A = this chain, B = another copy of it.
Amino acid sequence: MAPNTHAHEHEELDEARSWAGDFDPLGDASERKVLFSAFDSFRQYRRSAHLTTTHRRRQAFYALPKEHWQMLSEPPFSLLDNFNKVDDAIDVNADLADAIVETGLSSFGLPANPDQTDPSQNWHGIATAADVNKAHSTIRQFYRDWSAEGQAERDVCYGPVLEDLDQEFPDKLDRDEYLRVLVPGAGLGRLVFEICRAGFAAEGNEISYHQLLASSWILNHTAGPQAHELYPFALHFSNILSREQQLRKVMIPDVHPGAAMLEAQSTTETPFGTMSMSAADFVVLYSNPSQKDAFDAVATVFFIDTAPNLIRYVQAIRNCLKSGGIWINVGPLLWHFEDSRQRTHSGNDDHEGEHDQGIGEPGGVELTEEEVFLLIERMGFRIEKRQSPEERPDCGYIQDPDSMLRPLYRPSHWLARKS
């Protein structure tokens, strides 16, 4: 799993060379496979979504007794019409997947229709079911990070980070150089963008190619605000009050990153910060001596529970944070590696045991919140602020607010200072 050893800042808002520099996943066979699988999984979105969503349901529908499916085909039910509408929604979502593939291929100089016999370019047909599932959830994630409707989810998770930064650095506009803020697990880049918009130098870090490809597209390649349609809930058929609910459409992005930057530049009040993204294993990159004392703040949102070994995360954050710098955290403790089989970001097990560093390192432990606090304090942080359980607002994750089943988080929000 070579993203451990390669890293490069990319995705500057103001230039086109998103994936340039010394970041070269194509140079390593196993790394290339992970990247190609991500590409292929987006390419397969359209076919797999039709197959598993509507095709399978049509088969089950026509397997009902004839008088049943006939009744349900007619108004007021019109269920076959609904299958068609869901197919249309899938096609709209698949257009996003295709756009991600197209801009990504262009960045890497890869052909859309590769020579199937050339392993250095043949990215077709290699995605696993797990890869395809990730493509599906990544597309849905645009709802959370880049639609107006996702604002409520963002307010709960990103709001406290922006408030803490504002409170910690009230005089940031007077400084000559930007204050640097690191966002590990940057996902689709919204928090990085918001921190940048607040005037900081924001650096995102992300290991998943699914997220990197999708964030690159939304940050650098969309045509304008509200330019693209997304049907975040169309593929799911349970706990729904009405078909209108299932087929609700949102527009993305709610804010166009480029337009927002231009707008900010036209005023002097809120200077736009700089923005970058590193494609790397968080632990390996930010534990490196080259990153020592590099950041004024680290903001982890729904991130620390991706650690098999949280101690490594704390070490990395301590390394890259300046003395007196702050670590802001918002999130639950849904330990991602509780199921030990999910051990690599590609969803494949064939990389296991290859590494002695980073997220692929053996071993794992799941701490309680109480133990997380104890650990952080023991490792050279002072916890200055923590939200009590009663104060925590409920927070959905890509959650249809009208569903009859809502998995709601009560994320922990705290602030620790490197002492």
> Provided the pairs A64-B363, A374-B77, A389-B402 are in contact, do residues A368 and B242 lie with their beta carbons within 8 angstroms?
yes
A334 B239 Cβ-Cβ under 8 A: yes
**Cα A246 to Cα B343 with chains together (Å):** 25
Q: Which residue of B lies closest to A76 (CB)?
A: B374
> Is there an interface contact between B407 and A406, defined as CB atoms closer than 8 Å?
yes
Given the complex, which residues of B lie within 8 Å of A366, measured CB to CB? 57, 237-238
**Among candidates B76, B243, B365, B402, residue contacting A60 with C-beta atoms closer than 8 Å:** B365
Are B79 and A405 closer than 8 Å at their CB atoms?
no
Q: Please state if A238 and B333 are interface contacts (CB–CB under 8 Å).
A: yes
B77 touches A238 (CB 8 A): no
A391 CB to nearest B CB, Å: 13
- Min CB distance A233 to B, Å, is 12
Chain B residues in 8 Å Cβ range of A72: 365
State the CA gap A365–B78 with chains docked (Å).
12
The answer to whether B239 and A371 touch across the interface, beta carbons within 8 angstroms, is no
Could you tell me if A239 and B68 are in contact, using CB atoms closer than 8 angstroms?
Answer: no
Option from B65, B76, B239, B308 in Cβ contact (under 8 Å) with A333 = B239
Roughly how many angstroms separate A20 CA and B44 CA in the complex, as a whole number? 55
A309 and B64 contact, Cβ closer than 8 Å, known pairs A238-B333, A332-B239, A332-B404? yes
Name which residue of chain B comes closest to A334, CB basis: B238
Residues of B within 8 A of A81 (CB): none
CA of A340 to CA of B64, assembled, Å: 13
Cα of A378 to Cα of B72 in the assembled complex, Å: 11
Which residues of B have CB within 8 Å of A335?
A: 237-238
In the complex, A309→B374 CA distance in Å? 52
Q: A410 on the interface (CB 8 Å rule)?
A: yes
Q: Which residue of B lies closest to A78 (CB)?
A: B371
Min distance, Cβ A20 to any Cβ of chain B, angstroms = 36
Q: Are A68 and B334 in contact (CB under 8 A)?
A: no
- Shortest CB distance A314–B (Å): 11
Bound Cα distance from A363 to B65, whole angstroms = 8
Contact of A245 with B by CB under 8 A: yes
- Tally of chain A residues near chain B (CB < 8 A): 59
* Contact residues, A61-79 vs B (CB, 8 A): 61-65, 68-69, 71-72, 76-77, 79
Q: Are B241 and A363 in contact (CB under 8 A)?
A: no
Q: Does A125 contact B (CB under 8 A)?
A: no
Q: In the complex, which residues of chain B have a beta carbon less than 8 angstroms from the beta carbon of A77? A: 367, 371, 374-375
Does A334 contact B369, Cβ atoms closer than 8 Å? no
A28 in contact (CB, < 8 A): no
Indicate if the CB atoms of A243 and B368 lie closer than 8 Å.
Answer: yes
**Complex alpha-carbon distance, A332 and B371, angstroms:** 36
A23 is an interface residue with CB less than 8 A from chain B? no
In the complex, whether A412 has a CB less than 8 A from a CB of chain B is yes
Q: Is the CB of A363 within 8 A of B68?
A: yes
A409 is an interface residue with CB less than 8 A from chain B? yes
The docked-state distance in angstroms from the alpha carbon of A405 to that of B56 is 31
Which residues from chain B contact A338 at a C-beta distance below 8 Å? 237-238
Least CB distance from A363 to B in Å reads 4
Top 8 A-B pairs, shortest CB-CB distance: A64-B363, A63-B363, A237-B366, A60-B364, A332-B404, A63-B362, A407-B407, A240-B368
A-B contact pairs, 18 of them (CB 8 A): A56-B340, A60-B340, A63-B362, A64-B309, A65-B309, A69-B363, A71-B311, A77-B375, A237-B335, A237-B338, A238-B305, A238-B334, A240-B368, A243-B368, A243-B370, A245-B368, A404-B410, A405-B408
